[in-house]
């Protein structure tokens, strides 16, 4: 349990109310009880504020007068909520040491502060940093390097020669360094192109469940510092993702694409290969990117939002008639010009 005063100090907030109030966890405005703290970050939830049973609410100064009990006033309630949730829910402490069922080859560097779970396989040449945690059933192939305080969940695969930075989180099912999709057509028959590069992942990166990052064909695939990847993302070979870029679930990134720093990419986006996306670009969900986006800090969208099926069918018919319509307009313009 933390007091409201301790929480306010942790997030640099201002208390309005009883600072000695004890808080056990975080919850929504609708579901919170008398020992929980909630937050109001989106005004559409303002209607739940007056009736909340939360012991305290994180709000900005414009909303503080509407809070029925205690409050902590902050500049950004959502960021404050994230910090409070982390404070009240620290990562589970792992038992330091190596499980009896782990399989570890010779020539491996494992510090005494590491935690190696059951059925883990670690091949020759692997180097682990201080405080590394490896969950049950994960596989680290030869010459993998893992930085300090990195947490690897169960059933993660790190293929040979992968380099992982410090303070990285890899969720279950992640595969780093599998072969990229390199094939060539030899007189109608597809032949495999050896994938000779590596994957290099920076510090403070988080990669969601079942996301795959392919190794480079010749040069390396590179994930920059502070990058956050959601679940079920495919990162192709030789892709470079700049520092602090965030990518939502089910995005597909084709090979040799360069994505800049501080980009935001929505769910379901498809990004073609051999293109470049500038720093600070935002791409909304379900967008298809086929050409380079070189304007910094721009926002890009494509796709058709959901609509009634009958309307959609009509629009598809009109779309298919656009070439004929354009030809008719051009002919009319030419006719007017001639007269």
DSSP secondary structure of 159-219: -TT-EE-TT-EE-TT-EEEEPP--EEEETTEEEEPP----EEE-SS-EE-TT-EEEPPSSS
Look at residue 304 in the predicted model and tell me its pLDDT: 82
Look at residue 227 in the predicted model and tell me its pLDDT: 98
Determine whether 225 is exposed, middle or buried from the number of CB atoms within 10 Å of its CB (0-12, 13-18, 19+).
middle
Q: What is the mean pLDDT of the chain?
A: 96
Residue 106 DSSP one-character state: S
Burial letters 246-260, b for 16+ CB under 10 A, else e: bbbbbbebbbbbbbb
Give alpha helix (H) positions in the chain.
4-11, 77-88, 309-320, 322-338
Look at residue 257 in the predicted model and tell me its pLDDT: 98
| Digit-coded pLDDT (tens) for 41-53 | 999 999 999 999 9
What distance in Å separates the CA atoms of residue 14 and residue 110, rounded to the nearest whole number? 45
Look at residue 107 in the predicted model and tell me its pLDDT: 96
Look at residue 338 in the predicted model and tell me its pLDDT: 77
Look at residue 279 in the predicted model and tell me its pLDDT: 96
Look at residue 4 in the predicted model and tell me its pLDDT: 97
Residue 250 DSSP one-character state: T
Percent of the chain with pLDDT over 70: 100
Q: Is the pLDDT of residue 168 over 80?
A: yes
Report residue 231's pLDDT band, with 50, 70 and 90 as the boundaries: very high
What distance in Å separates the CA atoms of residue 189 and residue 120, rounded to the nearest whole number? 38
The angle, 0 to 180 degrees and rounded to 10, between the axes of the packed helices 309-320 and 322-338 is 50
What distance in Å separates the CA atoms of residue 52 and residue 298, rounded to the nearest whole number? 39
Look at residue 267 in the predicted model and tell me its pLDDT: 97
Q: Is the pLDDT of residue 339 over 80?
A: no
Contact 36, 54 (CB under 8 A): yes
Report residue 322's pLDDT band, with 50, 70 and 90 as the boundaries: very high
| Digit-coded pLDDT (tens) for 67-95 | 999 999 999 999 999 999 999 999 888 88
Question: Coil, strand, or helix at residue 157?
Answer: strand
| Digit-coded pLDDT (tens) for 156-167 | 999 999 999 999
> Which residue shows structure tokens 């690897």?
152
What distance in Å separates the CA atoms of residue 254 and residue 234, rounded to the nearest whole number? 8
Q: Is the pLDDT of residue 208 over 80?
A: yes
Report residue 337's pLDDT band, with 50, 70 and 90 as the boundaries: confident
The radius of gyration of the chain from alpha carbons, rounded to an integer in Å, stands at 26
Longest pairwise C-alpha distance within the chain: 91
Global pTM value: 0.92
Q: Which residues pair with 56 in a beta bridge?
A: 37, 70
Report residue 305's pLDDT band, with 50, 70 and 90 as the boundaries: confident
Report residue 296's pLDDT band, with 50, 70 and 90 as the boundaries: confident
What is the CA angle 7-92-175, rounded to 5? Answer: 120
| Digit-coded pLDDT (tens) for 256-293 | 999 999 999 999 999 999 999 999 999 999 999 999 99
Look at residue 295 in the predicted model and tell me its pLDDT: 81
Of 144, 237, 240, nearest to 192 by C-alpha is 237
Catalytic residue positions, numbered: 237
């Amino acid at each position: 349990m933390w007091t409201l005063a301790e929480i306010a100090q942790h997030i640099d907030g201002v208390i309005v109310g009883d600072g000695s109030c004890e808080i056990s966890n975080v919850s929504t405005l609708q579901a919170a009880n008398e020992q929980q703290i909630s937050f109001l970050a989106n005004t559409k939830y303002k209607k739940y504020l007056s009736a909340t049973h939360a012991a305290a609410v994180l709000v900005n100064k414009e909303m503080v007068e509407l809070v029925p009990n205690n409050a902590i006033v902050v500049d950004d309630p959502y960021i404050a909520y994230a910090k409070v949730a982390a404070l009240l829910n620290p990562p589970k402490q792992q038992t330091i040491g190596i499980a009896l069922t782990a399989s570890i080859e010779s020539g491996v560097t494992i510090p005494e502060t590491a935690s190696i779970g059951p059925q883990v396989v670690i091949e020759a040449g692997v180097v682990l940093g201080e405080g590394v945690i490896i969950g049950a059933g994960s596989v680290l192939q030869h010459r993998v390097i893992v930085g300090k305080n990195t947490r690897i969940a169960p059933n993660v695969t790190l293929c040979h020669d992968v380099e992982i930075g410090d303070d990285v989180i890899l969720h279950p099912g992640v595969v780093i360094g599998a072969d990229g999709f390199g094939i060539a057509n030899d007189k109608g028959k597809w032949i495999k192109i050896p994938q000779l590069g590596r994957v290099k992942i920076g510090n403070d990166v988080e990669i969601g469940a079942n996301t795959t990052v392919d190794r480079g064909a010749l040069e390396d695939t590179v994930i920059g510092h502070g990058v956050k990847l959601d679940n079920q993302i495919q990162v192709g070979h030789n892709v470079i993702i700049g520092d602090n870029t965030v990518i939502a679930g089910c995005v597909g990134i084709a090979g040799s694409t360069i994505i800049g720093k501080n980009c935001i990419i929505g769910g379901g986006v498809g990004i073609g290969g051999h293109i470049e996306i500038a720093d600070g670009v935002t791409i909304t969900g379900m967008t298809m990117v086929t050409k380079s986006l070189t304007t910094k800090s721009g926002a890009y969208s494509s796709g058709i939002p959901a609509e009634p099926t009958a309307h959609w069918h009509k629009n598809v018919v009109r779309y298919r008639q656009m070439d004929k319509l354009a030809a008719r307009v051009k002919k009319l313009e030419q006719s007017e010009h001639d007269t």
